[in-house]
Amino acid sequence: MDAVPAAAAQRWPGRITERTLADGRPILYFDDQDTPGPVHEAADVRPLGEPPHAGEIRYDVLTGEWVTIAGHRMNRTFLPSAADCPLDPTVNPARPTEVPDSSYDVAVFANRFPSFAPLTVGPAADAPPPPFGPADRPAYGHCDVVVFSSDHDAAVADLSAARMRTIVEAWAQRTSAHSADPGVAEVFVFENSGQEIGVTLSHPHGQVYAYPTVPPRSGQLVERARQHRQATGGNLLADVLAAEQAEGTRVVLRGEHFTAYVPRAARWPVEVHLAPHRDVPDLAALDDAERAELALVYQELLRRVNRFHPGVDRVPYISGWHQAPTGEDRDLGRLHLQLFSLLRAPGKLKYLAGSESGAGAWINDTTPERIADRLREVAS
Ligand SMILES: [Zn+2]
């Protein structure tokens, strides 16, 4: 089994600076080192007007899931050329970007085209009520953009260890900040990488969504965890981790604080989960030693996913941090990462076709054990 090198368990040595964009959205700069450096005083001089508003959420009575109706997002920026990237630093005042300063390490700001926002436009006061199920609700919440580097062409797996540690801190800080909002039910931290995934900006960045309702996957997991607790008294995610560690065939990496394994019923051609050894609800609950190891382990998993298919330079991936709901049923959730790719072979994508998209019934064309073998084979 691949152990990971011990990480120095010190407090994050960086610094957070909070500023405001021209339309009132907050922007936070996370600097890698707590040393004299940029003070991030550059002002956002764009004539932006009102802060963005979000739409509404409607209840799907057939599935019991909430759907966000965000029609105003249709005209958002889509694959701009590198010269027009809105996540670059503002080096030329004639081309202001979303980040006013000319240099930064990690920048976090509220999305200009949010699916959820503190200010909403819907539902309209005179909208007819739905015939069944709960009434439409405002799409209240928060959507952060987390820019991982000022380098437009950087890949997260290749960033310095210090930078990755700063990113972990930004994830934890945003989770903590949004969880304190009583209008937020769950905070989801995620990254889409690669045009095949539907990424609209190639600059290295991730997102944080603070939802007004518990999202469907988490809702299902909570129900399964509740049944498991009633049947066994245990925590489902903790017991799954223990079972994978004991069985071992799908474990791909084991550190002092985290273990990565391919789930027994993996759905994607490349999929791996990462779980902390300690029962923690979210990233904010990780201590310094856990955060330090997480930074190392996360990049190692990204590198392995990237090496998965011989001859492919950059494997597209989605990585999502599932965290416990902030209110009711918090004790049934447990932090874990789901990292996966829809690339099943060089040049061949796994499409979510009739069975998956239509019926929600998944068919994996490989075996989880084979995925685990390969993820061990390509270890650093
Ligand atoms: Zn860029």
The Cα 366–Cα 354 span in angstroms is 18
- Ligand 1 centroid–CA 361 distance in Å is 38
Structure tokens at 22: 């021209």
pLDDT, position 37: 72
Gyration radius (Cα) of the chain, Å: 21
User: 3-class DSSP state for residue 89?
Assistant: strand
Give the model's pLDDT for residue 207: 97
pLDDT at 218: 96
Token pair recorded at residue 251: 């474990």
Distance 284 CA to ligand 1 centre (A): 28
User: pTM here?
Assistant: 0.94
Q: Is 170 helix (H, G, I), strand (E, B) or coil?
A: helix
If one compares 263 and 359, the residue with the highest pLDDT of the two is: 263
Listed in sequence order, the residues at least 6 apart from 305 whose beta carbon sits closer than 8 Å to its beta carbon are 270, 272, 315, 317, 339, 341, 375
| Torsion of the alpha carbons at 240, 241, 245 and 247, rounded to the nearest 10 | 10
pLDDT at 77: 59
Q: Which residues participate in catalysis according to the annotation?
A: 205
pLDDT tops 90 at residue 8: no
Instruction: DSSP letter for 359, please.
Output: I
Q: How far apart are CA 378 and CA 380, in angstroms?
A: 7
15-213 CATH choice from 3.40.50.620, 3.30.428.10, 2.60.40.2250, 3.50.30.50 = 3.30.428.10
Residue 199 pLDDT: 74
The SS3 assignment for 288 reads helix
Res. 129: pLDDT tops 80:
yes
**CATH of the domain spanning 217-377, picked from 3.40.50.1370, 3.30.428.10, 3.40.630.10, 3.90.780.10:** 3.30.428.10
The C-alpha atoms of residue 49 and residue 72 are separated, in whole angstroms, by 16
Q: Are 280 and 286 in contact (CB under 8 A)?
A: yes
How far does residue 80's CA lie from ligand 1's centre (Å)?
9
For residue 171, give the 3-state DSSP assignment.
helix
Per-residue confidence band for 137, with pLDDT thresholds at 50, 70 and 90: very high
The 3-state DSSP class for residue 4 equals coil
Amino acid identity for residue 49 in this structure: G
Query: Ligand 1: distance of its center to the CA of 327 in Å?
Result: 37
Q: Round to whole Å and give the CA distance between 78 and 261.
A: 35
Is the pLDDT assigned to residue 131 strictly greater than 50?
A: yes
The pLDDT score that the predictor gives to residue 45 is 92
Strand partners, 27: 19, 109
pLDDT for 294: 98
* pLDDT mean across residues, the chain: 92
The pLDDT value given to residue 1: 45
Omega before residue 123 within 30° of 0, cis: yes
Q: Parallel, antiparallel, or unpaired: how do β-strands 251-254 and 258-261 relate?
A: antiparallel
Domain boundary assignment for the chain: 15-213, 217-377
Provide mean pLDDT across the span 14-29: 96
Specify the pLDDT at position 6. 67
Of the candidate ranges 29-43, 88-102, 132-146, 254-268, the one whose mean pLDDT is the lowest: 29-43
Tell the residue number behind the tokens 């791996």, with chain if given.
272
Q: Looking at per-residue confidence, does 157 or 121 come out higher?
A: 157
Beta strands in the chain (DSSP E): 15-20, 26-31, 56-60, 65-69, 106-110, 137-138, 142-147, 186-193, 205-211, 251-254, 258-261, 270-276, 317-322, 336-341, 343-345, 348-349
Q: What is the DSSP string of 95-111?
A: S--SB-SS--SEEEEE-
**28-65 confidence digits (pLDDT tens):** 999 998 667 778 999 999 999 888 899 999 999 999 99
Q: Tell me: pLDDT of 161 over 70.
A: yes
Residue 207 CB-half CA count within 13 A: 19
Query: CA–CA separation, 349 vs 365, rounded Å?
Result: 12
Backbone angles phi, psi at 296, to 5 degrees: -70, -45
Give yes or no for a contact between 109 and 27, defined as CB atoms under 8 angstroms apart: yes
85 CA to middle of ligand 1, Å?
4
Q: Is the pLDDT reported for residue 339 higher than 60?
A: yes
Q: d(Cα 213, Cα 219) in Å, to the nearest integer?
A: 9
Cα separation, 45 vs 97, in Å, equals 10
pLDDT at site 372: 98
pLDDT at 210: 98
Q: What is the pLDDT of residues 176-228, one digit of tens each?
A: 999 999 999 999 999 999 877 777 788 999 999 999 999 999 999 999 999 99
Amino acid 117: pLDDT: 95
Note the pLDDT of residue 276. 98
| Residue % of the chain over a pLDDT of 70 | 94
**Distance in Å, CA 299 to ligand 1 centroid:** 21
In tens, the pLDDT along 72-109 reads 654 555 566 777 899 999 999 899 999 999 999 999 99
pLDDT score recorded for residue 268: 96
Residue 361 has pLDDT above 80, yes or no: yes
- DSSP state, residue 71: G
Give residue 123's pLDDT. Answer: 80
Query: Beta partners for 84?
Result: none
Q: How confident is the model at residue 2 (pLDDT cuts 50, 70, 90)?
A: low
